[in-house]
Amino acid sequence: MHSLSGLAPAIAGVLGLAFGILIGRRGRSRLVGEVCGLEDEVARLESQTRDQSRQVAKLRGEQRALSSFTRLLPSIARDLNRSDLDERQIPRLVFALADSIFEPEQKLLYLALPNGGRGEQGQVLQLVERSSNTDIPASATKITVGEGKIGWVASAKVEMLAEDWLNMTRTEGRAVEDNHPSLRLDLIGPLVHHVDGKDRLLGVLCIGNPASRPRDEKAMLQMVTNLASIAYTNSRSMRQLSDLANHDGLTALLNKRYFMGQRLGLLINAAEREAAALSVFIFDIDHFKKYNDTNGHLAGDEILKGVSQVLRENLRPCDVACRYGGEEFIVAMPGARGNEGLAAAERIRAAIESTKFPRAETQPGGRITISGGVAQFPVDGTIGNDLILHADQALYQAKAAGRNRLVQFRGVNIGDDGVNEAAVFPHADSLG
């Protein structure tokens, strides 16, 4: 009995120890669980913080881009809308605007080439401006409308983002391939001009690897392409108006006002600056009044247009032709020194004489012919009026000598019966 009573405290101690151990284990398990939960919460908070940091960085980037765009837009829009804007300046302004919004690594601008009135069938896009850290192969500088992603955008006339190509409902179930691996095509937008109820393609703008992608990036891209379209349309319209103002309506040659007021002066200044020669050739159509009286003024207009066409076909690349008035024409020949101007004028005279014009048989000799005179800068004059005056004097000498011939201001005749072509080159006396 005594021995059993002595065991009780020991058993109680063992049970207490076992209970303590059990309770300790359960506490530690609960503690471990709580620690793991805290670690998960910390990881979640850290991930949330990173997401928020990314969002803040994105918002700051968008704010920076928006601030740059807002600061740049008024001046670029003003420049793009200038009436005297040279079309060659437009890509630089468009790229500056794209940079302020997207900060891209690559920018490409393609323009639609004229297609002879056949619409967009077979129309070609020509790369006119690029900004890229990769080389663009020659095969990617010309793209047929409908070819690859760029050609598809040109044909469909809709903006496309990189992710839009994954949704083939946008492309009517067609998988569209890239044009070339070197072309980064994250954003592609068409340049379109709405005229006569139709959208006319002007070109395509491609944006690659943009560092900034605003939430309304497609609308922002559309704004850039719309401004570019307006600029190209205005520039081309102003050029057409200028051409109409500076050209003769019947012959399409330069008119007297523009030739005398600007073009000839610029050519003389260039010749003087470069110590170069310049010849001026003036001619009129022989017996033109007789042709008009015999065949009517409408037929006379056709002769004027026909002579102008032959003249254009026989000009040197640098020559400038003008309808001076009535049946009289002037050609400025930059760089034509010595007998070169006279020889070039003779080619024009001979070409007109050999052309079969309508009703030419009613003219004396049965042909349409011209008479003309040639003067040279600086020996025959240093200003436009003097050169034309002296060339005109030579013209009258050619007419007095029997027409269908040319006279150098210093008195050399060529192009008529009994005159050897070698006579072009001897020195001649001044008309005085």
* Active-site option among 159, 217, 327, 346: 327
- 420 backbone dihedrals φ, ψ, rounded to 5°: -75, 140
* Distant-in-sequence, close-in-space partners of 411: CB < 8 Å, separation ≥ 6: 394, 397, 428, 429, 430, 431
In the sheet that holds 142-144, the strands lie side by side as 142-144, 124-131, 104-112, 198-210, 187-195, 160-161
CB 268, CB 278: distance < 8 Å: yes
The residue behind tokens 């560092």 is 211
Q: Is 327 in the active site?
A: yes
| Residue 97, burial from CB neighbour count under 10 angstroms (0-12, 13-18, 19+) | buried
Any idea of the CA torsion for 3, 6, 11, 12, to the nearest 10 degrees?
150
Q: At what angle do helices 297-313 and 340-354 cross, to 10 degrees?
A: 130
CA dihedral sign, ordered 9, 11, 16, 17: positive
In DSSP terms, 88 is beta-bridged to: none
Distance CA 9, CA 399 (A): 152
CB 374, CB 408: distance < 8 Å: yes
Q: Which residues are known to be catalytic?
A: 327
